[in-house]
Amino acid sequence: MDGITKRANEIPPFIVMDVLERAHELEREGRHIIHLQIGEPDFPTPACICDAACEAIRAGKTHYTHSLGIIELREAISAHYFEKYAVKIDPDRILVTSGTSPALFLIFAALLEGGDEIIMSDPHYPCYPNFAAFLGARPVPIRAEEAEGFQLQPEEIKKKLGPKTRAILINSPSNPTGNLLSAERIKEIAALGLPVISDEIYHGLVYGEQEHSILEFTDNAFVLNGFSKLYAMTGWRLGYLIAPPHAVRPLQKMQQNFYISAGSVSQWAGVAALTKAGADVERMKSIYNERRRYMIQRVRELGFGLAVEPAGAFYLLANARHLAANSYELAFEILEKAGVGVSPGIDFGQNAEGYLRFSYANSIENIREGMDRIEAFLRQR
Ligand SMILES: Cc1ncc(COP(=O)(O)O)c(C=O)c1O
């Protein structure tokens, strides 16, 4: 009717942005808001990465690059996967993108026709079903239960497999739960024989447990990864995918048409991230871990449910069903009355309704203040 396609009109918004936008309005009115809804590191990008970007600019590395990405970065990614997971990946199977989000879109576009099905856990990162639906495919959610640490159960996946199933999507450590899939489960999922899309963007942000790449278990896999979270590089827009050889050329052709290449300066920054920023990552990780432990303790003391302690990313998904059935209303009530931004569970799927996602990508002082405010709010409620 309005000349805008149905798919563009109907793609759902990122609900957490509603919380953020209201929080900004309140801030403009003079309120002080603690942001625990955020999904990005509060740290600045490490200096060695920024220096490499400045050098690249000065050296005139400011042009389009090879559509797969500069070979130096693809080799560094390949070396990283070998060192960390003992998997050998030809750099020609790697495609560098402007963030993980375009990589996700390219993979979905390569695998899904209209009417196809893609299996994913519920809760999940909000964009997964939205991208699938945008392409005319059907996201098939698998309920992952709090009592089981929101683990995606291979048995449950089997029940949903059908002639139209094209791929299974996993994300460990997970946004929004912060939980990891065990090696056994990943192995069982790989053994189902369908292509597995593994979003490994939170790899490296793991506290005490061990994360596993899908490539340790099968080559019938598409890996998504990026620099936004581990290296505090959200604004640099740098990510990548690793694909089976037969899929590279179609993915590359889409990249050439849609995006040409990822940003050259960001790619040189990415090389420095992988080769020089190890100590910075360790420092940030140990600070996240301290915040994680503190937040888990406070969330439980305040009466929220958290059956399994999250061991990765910088989120925890707390059960707030004793407070309200509608997480959207509860998140806004907490924002308006306590001045704390949290993400409503419903943003992450029907099965996360009644939950709130707390992010510890904020200073320990702010987390303490945020928890104190929620405590006071709950006492008065
Ligand atoms: C699970 C997951 N995948 C992908 C992304 C996209 O990250 P980016 O496009 O910044 O690399 C995010 C961002 O929050 C995420 O949480």
**297 CA to centre of ligand 1 in angstroms:** 27
**Is 360 strand, coil or helix?**
coil
Which structure tokens are listed for 41?
Answer: 């590191």
Contact 361/341 with Cβ under 8 angstroms? no
Averaged confidence pLDDT in the chain: 96
Exposure string for 365-381, b = 16+ CB within 10 A, e = fewer: ebbebbbebbeebeeee
**Res. 337: pLDDT tops 70:** yes
* 209: pLDDT strictly greater than 90: no
CA of 38 to the centre of ligand 1 (A): 12
Return the SS3 of 293.
helix
CA 134 to chain CA centroid, Å, is 19
For residue 116, the tally of other CB atoms under 10 A from its CB is: 18
Would the pTM of this model clear 0.85, i.e. be above it?
A: yes
Q: Which residue has the higher pLDDT, 41 or 12?
A: 41
Cβ count near 238 (within 10 Å): 26
pLDDT for position 372: 98
Work out the angle at residue 103's Cα, subtended by the Cα atoms of residues 207 and 35, and round it to the nearest 5 degrees.
50
Close Cβ partners of 367 (under 8 Å, ≥ 6 residues apart) = 34, 36, 291, 294, 295, 298, 360
171 lines ligand 1 (CB under 6 A): yes
Task: Give SS3 for 98.
Answer: coil
| C-alpha 201 – ligand 1 centre gap (Å) | 7
Amino acid 1: pLDDT: 62
235 burial class (0-12, 13-18, 19+ CB within 10 angstroms)?
exposed
Q: Which atom of ligand 1 is nearest to the CA of 102?
A: 9
- Burial track 57-78 (b if 16+ CB lie within 10 A, e otherwise): eeeeeeeebebbbbeebbebbb
pLDDT digits (tens, 9 = 90+) for 45-83: 999 999 999 999 999 999 999 999 999 999 999 999 999
**Distances in whole angstroms, Cα of residue 192 to Cα of each of 106, 111, 165:** 23, 17, 11
| Residue 173 near ligand 1, beta carbon < 6 Å | no
**What integer is the mean pLDDT of 175-187?**
96
Is 102 near ligand 1, meaning CB less than 6 Å away? no
The pLDDT of 237-264, averaged and rounded, is 98
Q: 155: which residues sit within 8 A by CB, 6+ positions away?
A: none
Q: Does the CB atom of residue 121 touch ligand 1 within 6 A?
A: no
Verify whether ligand 1 is closer than 6 Å to residue 314 (CB atom).
no
Rounded CA-CA distance 145/153 in Å is: 9
Mutate which of 201, 236, 267 for ligand 1 pocket (most atoms within 8 A of beta carbon): 201
Q: Is any atom of ligand 1 closer than 6 Å to the C-beta of 41?
A: no
239 lines ligand 1 (CB under 6 A): yes
Give residue 253's pLDDT: 98
pLDDT at 16: 83
Which residue CA neighbors atom 16 of ligand 1 most closely?
175
pLDDT at 15: 82
- Closest to 22 in 3D by CA, of 375, 374, 328, 369: 328
Q: Return the ligand 1 atom nearest residue 313 CA.
A: 16
Cα-to-centroid distance, 224 and ligand 1 (Å): 9
* Closest Cα to atom 7 of ligand 1: 100
Query: Does residue 100 line the site of ligand 1, with CB under 6 A?
Result: yes
Q: What is the mean pLDDT of residues 335-343?
A: 97
**Ligand 1 and 228: CB distance under 6 A:** yes
For the residues 324-350, what does the mean pLDDT come to? 96
